[in-house]
Structure 1
Amino acid sequence: MTVDEGQPGYARHAVEVFAEELDEFLAAVMAEAGEHADPADLTGLDEPFERRVLGTAGTRGMLGIGLPDEVPAGPWLRAAFDFAVAAHDAPLVDTAVTLAGFSVAAFANEEQHAFFLPRMTGGELTMCVAYSEREAGSDLRALSATAVEEGGGYVLSGVKTLVTGAHKADWCCTVARTGPLGSAAMTMFLVDMAAPGVRVVRRPTMNGWTLDEVHFDAVRLPPGAVLGEPGRAWRQLAAALRAERSGMFHLGFARHALDGLRRHLRETGGGDPVSRDAFAALEVDFTAGVRLACRALSADRGSSDAVAQASMAKVFATELLQRIAQEATEAAGHQGMIHAPLFAPEPAPAAAGGRFAWEYLERVHGTIGAGANELQRDTIAQAGLGLPTARRK
């Protein structure tokens, strides 16, 4: 991320200073990451190491940067954090602040603010986000999990799928139906993962790490578990997902992958002219992706333009990652197809130590998560171009 792409003048110095400090910190802590490998986790690192990095970043005030939005240059500082964390492969991607910080900051009541925000920004508390279900992936209006009012609180039942980090989370931000099927009555809840009736099942992905299922078996929730307004979760979800789609995490991953491809081309004599031209085109696309992300950050929140810009940034960045992975595997030939997990103790005898093949498998899920790209294109057409809504068959 460059610090002058569309940023207001007052933000530039603050972002430059923060980005430099963050880069130094991440380079130092990640120097020992190879001693803490865990291929079954999305980050590739074990939980004790993750929590140590999380706590240190929290103590240094890095996790809460940009919260609340009223902080001067807040969105740009947050974007700088997202980009740097991804570019360094640091285990700070699925933190409580990253996943649920917007929802808690925007919708929590005074008591929830007092309990959650200091612990989230201090790195003391981890949280997962559980929205999707087997029959309600991109269309959350089809969700079947229910929360029935009982004894002044709620009883939560249902199964959430495709959840990252549930096996190591202290709390879960989830959504359940609190009205009849077909209605928009859904409510957001904060659930203690240690509560009776909460069960996590880990499911392997094609890249070796695990996504989780979270089973809520008649979990009793107190009234204070409601996040925001009862029955208003749909609007809250839409706002939270828009905040998640600036694309800066994906662009940080893209920067890391492009740097790896550049090193490979140099080590192998620069590659053939076709590979060099393809690499140059990807660098141009990366610059375009940064501009799109900055436009999304600059747009007036809540406007139709902001909705369209966020979707554009997400689609472009996630598909750029796939193009980079494709080019890397092709440029490396058969060595680009040898796979190794992140932070493997002994790098595989392959291009980039097996990273190119890992990227090739990994970058599928970015185009599906946080709203599939097909649906994002619908949003761009409707909110950005003003085209009429058409029901999919």
Structure 2
Amino acid sequence: MPDRAPQPVDRQLPTDEARDLISLVRDIARHEIAPKAAEEEDAGRFPREVFTLLSRSGLLGLPYDAEYGGGDQPYEVYLQVLEELAAARLTVGLGLSVHTLASYALAAYGTKQQRADHLPAMLGGDLLGAYALSEPASGSDAASLRTKAVRDGDGWVLTGTKAWITHGGVADFYTVMARTGVEGPRGVTAFLVPGDAEGLSAAAPEKKMGLKGSPTAQIHLDGVRVPDERRIGEEGQGFAIALSALDSGRLGIAACAIGLAQAALDEAVAYAADRRQFGRPIADFQGLRFMLADMATQIEAGRALYLAAARLRDAGRPFAREAAMAKLFCTDTAMRVTTDAVQVLGGYGYTADFPVERYMREAKVLQIVEGTNQIQRMVIARHVAGPESR
């Protein structure tokens, strides 16, 4: 069964421009993304043409400066765009979030010349990015990464393996964190590496529970040469850049989670209205009505949480704690809501004839990516109770 077109969410948007933008996104989601989502996810097909459409529609650089090809939109608006896209197909919403994350280092820490040289193509030139921090033995403990960058004349030579890279093998550029100095976080530097660089290759995509249309693969860097002008920020600043990027990226994951949860709720409500048992729609039964009420309440709470964090970011105020809270709550909500949606549909929910079984499988990874939810709890606890004693 094709995915149901996303149901419009009543949004409070700050400008007429933002309202027009959401209208455009809904049109793309309804006509270009949702109708093919189930078939393409089942086939494991990556929708590169959708990202080309998003680029040509001005949607790949929404939160970045118009001077460099961006959309000059506040995060409050950008995240609601992500939610709309994720409700139509998580592969697309998450893909845009990852591209935005991959562009962040250069946009926030690059020199004016670097931004002028690279950002216009990254934000509006049909390019797609990937973010390369994790490694086979360096996940939550990201500061222990082993990929090395060694100075060679006026450039660098990168050697190592990155793991769990969304868009691995299909990205046009990678923001890569590599060790250039001492052990620990102070020895990491960020680099912008072209996807077609000599010595860069991708392993076969991982075989995953869900998000089968979104390629996730190891990236091998075998003596990849990068000129110094592709070093982002100062030597040794890479880990701080990575953490700063993840604060914003976690908001993207939160918005995608709410979009996925909303899609699951919409499917559950529609099914409950149509399915009749004991002579009436199952939506009439109090036990199920209470379940739908809880699902809707959790979604609204998550949406309010990620938007509150986004408004702090837009105001230039600290938001790391709120970003961790939003990522934690929204992704846990997506897991609960999608699980409950399967329950509402009963046996049908457990079949691939309806999309809720796919939503449930996809929700799980959102509790893992860009910092597991256990890591989010550690981050929040440090803000609340201070650092751990040693």
Question: What is the TM-score when the length of structure 1 is the normalising length?
Answer: 0.85
2:57 aligns with one of 49, 55, 60: 60
User: For 2:95 and 2:273, how far apart are their aligned partners in 1?
Assistant: 33
Q: 1:310 Cα shift?
A: 0.6
- Classify 1:133/1:304 alpha carbon distance in 2 versus 1 (closer, same or farther; 3 Å): farther
The structure-2 alpha-carbon separation of the partners of 1:55 and 1:183, relative to structure 1 and needing over 3 Å to count, comes to: closer
Residue 213 (structure 1) aligns with: 218
Q: Which residue of 2 aligns with 1:229?
A: 234
SS across alignment from 2:58: coil
Task: Out of 270-279 and 76-85, give the one that drifted further.
Answer: 270-279
- Measure the CA separation in 2 of the matches of 1:364 and 1:308: 22
Whether 2:78 is the aligned partner of 1:78: answer yes
- Say how many residue pairs are matched: 366
1:203 is matched with which residue? 206
Partners of 1:378 and 1:2 lie apart in 2 by 34
Distance 1:304 1:16 in 2: 25
Aligned to 1:345: none
Distance 2:299 2:380 in 1: 20
Q: Following superposition of structure 1 onto structure 2, how do residues 254-333 of structure 1 map, counting pairs within 5 Å?
A: 254-268=261-275, 269-271=281-283, 272-300=285-313, 306-333=319-346
Q: 1:310 to 1:265 in 2, by over 3 A?
A: same
Alignment deviations for residues 11-70 of structure 1 (CA, whole Å, 9 cap, x no partner) = 2433222212221233232366369725464xxx44xxx333323332232322221399
Name which of 11, 16, 23 aligns with 2:26: 23
Deviations 1:223-251 (A, max 9, x none): 12212222101111111111112221221
Structure number with the higher helix fraction is 2
Looking at structure 2, the residues matched to 235 and 130 of structure 1 have their Cα atoms a distance apart, in angstroms, of 14
Q: Is the 8 A contact 1:189 1:225 kept in 2?
A: yes
Instruction: Name the CA distance, whole Å, in 2 between partners of 1:291 and 1:69.
Output: 28
Q: Identify the residue that residue 243 of structure 2 maps to in structure 1.
A: 238
- TM-score, normalization by structure 2: 0.85
Aligned equivalent of 1:177, options 162, 168, 179: 179
Instruction: Measure the CA separation in 1 of the matches of 2:243 and 2:333.
Output: 24
Q: Work out whether 1:150 is the aligned partner of 2:157.
A: no
- The structural deviation recorded for 1:372 is 0.9
Quick one: which amino acid aligns to residue 77 of structure 1? Answer: V
Against the structure 1 CA distance between its residues 123 and 88, is the aligned structure 2 distance closer, same or farther, given a 3 Å change threshold? Answer: farther
2:55, 2:124 within 8 Å by CA — same for their partners in 1? yes
2:372 maps to a residue whose letter is: A
3-state SS in 2 of match to 1:85: helix
Contact 1:127 1:166 in 2 (8 A): no
In structure 1, C-alpha distance between the alignment counterparts of 2:65 and 2:50, rounded to whole Å: 22
Identity of aligned residues (%): 26
Partner of 1:101: 103
Q: What is the one-letter code of the residue matched to 1:311?
A: A
Q: Deviations over 1:171-224 (max 9, x none)?
A: 111101111223521011111121221121122112372520111112122112
Structure 1 residue 315 displacement after superposition: 0.4
Q: How far did 1:261 drift? A: 1.4
* Distance across 2 between alignment mates of 1:308 and 1:317: 14
Structure 1 CA distance for aligned equivalents of residues 291 and 16 of structure 2: 34
Over 3 Å counting, the alpha-carbon distance change for 1:301 and 1:228 in structure 2 is farther
Structure 2 segments unaligned to the other structure (5+ residues):
1-8, 276-280
In 2, are the aligned partners of 1:51 and 1:123 still within 8 Å (CA)? no
Alignment of 1:361 with 2:339, yes or no, is no
**Structure 1: gaps of 5 or more residues:** 341-347
1:14/1:73 contact within 8 Å kept: no
